[in-house]
Amino acid sequence: MEKKDLRIVYMGTPDFAVESLRCLVEGGYNVVGVITMPDKPAGRGHKIQFSPIKQYALDNNLPLLQPERLKDEDFIEALREWKADLQIVVAFRMLPEVVWAMPRLGTFNLHASLLPQYRGAAPINWAVINGETETGITTFFLQHEIDTGKVIQQVRIPIADTDNVEVVHDKLMMLGGKLVVETVDAILEDRIRPIPQEEMIQPDELRPAPKIFKETCRIDWTGKVKQIYDFIRGLSPYPAAWTELHNDNEAPLMLKIFETEKIIKDHSFNAGTLITDGKNNLQIAVTDGFISIKSLQLAGKKRLGIEEFLRGFKYSEKMRVI
């Protein structure tokens, strides 16, 4: 079968999913339909916002479905009418079996980790938070348990000590587009030999990648320098690590921290103590050194570099972060 004859249905929602769809469309593959999340209101005006995938589908005149429920009979019937040979999922939702088992060639997913490690909703964040020096992307066939299907292909990349989650996200997004196309070609040419993840598990413990909530992002200043440094870059720029700035009897202020440097050094300060020259240096004491803040954002304000922030910052020796 030629690629122009292979009927592909594509499912995804965020920016991460657009590159793979773009590679398929511009590569001449026959994308017969796109499925994305329903529109939702966003921002203070609650203006309806299209997902990046919906916008791409509209711009390229691709048939589109936005089901509220993936088991809805009308949706299932509309999906059947597309007569997909293959379905591809990138950053979407957990699919019921009636959906993923529908195409004759199956449904494969692009996941932003080296499965079986980092199964879950936030694999890029957790790989950086945990200080990994390597990550990658995986294509695998869907089955009942989430992120557990047989692996088709993987690509590895290094994570630099200075990379934040945005840098790693963008690298994996671009590589993901290429890997999706390579996986489709391998399926078309019957070159795949899927490997059960059970055969890939190493003796070390599996590391999960659960969904990240606001409270997940709160910084624990009693940790060590490397741990806190990785935590902050693993959440930067979004959703962003945060802390509370306390000053005597004043109401605490929420502070997001985006960029830091680590200083390992013996000291006698309590964890969370602020040290600053008031000009271009703001450090926070932790167990085995200091976290030097380079960019941050007070609640309701814009993100600032440290020098600009300190120009308008009224420092008190009683200040601390918790």
Could you count the other beta carbons within 10 Å of the beta carbon of residue 258? 22
From the annotation, which residues make up the binding site for (6S)-5,6,7,8-tetrahydrofolate?
A: 113-116
Domain boundaries, the chain: 7-199, 215-321
Q: What's the pTM value of the predicted model, to 2 decimals? A: 0.95
Query: Which CATH superfamily, name and number, covers 215-321?
Result: Formyl transferase, C-terminal domain (3.10.25.10)
Q: Is the pLDDT confidence value at 185 over 90?
A: yes
Give the model's pLDDT for residue 122. 97
How far apart (Å, rounded) are the C-alpha atoms in residues 127 and 134?
8
- The residue among 34, 67, 32, 36 whose CA lies nearest residue 51 is 36
Give the model's pLDDT for residue 39. 92
- The residue among 70, 53, 169 whose CA lies nearest residue 112 is 169
Give the model's pLDDT for residue 138. 98
Q: Is the peptide bond before 103 cis (omega within 30 degrees of 0)?
A: no
Asked if domains 7-199 and 215-321 share a fold, the reply is no
Give the model's pLDDT for residue 48. 84
Q: Which of 198-207, 235-244, 256-265, 307-316 has the lowest average pLDDT? A: 198-207
Q: Is the pLDDT confidence value at 178 over 90?
A: yes
How far apart (Å, rounded) are the C-alpha atoms in residues 235 and 242?
9
Give the model's pLDDT for residue 201. 80
Residues 116-139 pLDDT 10s: 999 999 999 999 999 999 999 999
Give the model's pLDDT for residue 203. 67
From the annotation, which residues make up the binding site?
A: 113-116
Q: Which fold has domain 7-199?
A: Rossmann fold (3.40.50)
Q: What's the whole-number mean pLDDT along residues 51-55?
A: 97
Tell how strand 7-12 and strand 86-90 pair up: parallel
Confidence of residue 249 (pLDDT cuts 50, 70, 90): confident
How far apart (Å, rounded) are the C-alpha atoms in residues 72 and 295?
46
Mean pLDDT for the chain overall: 95
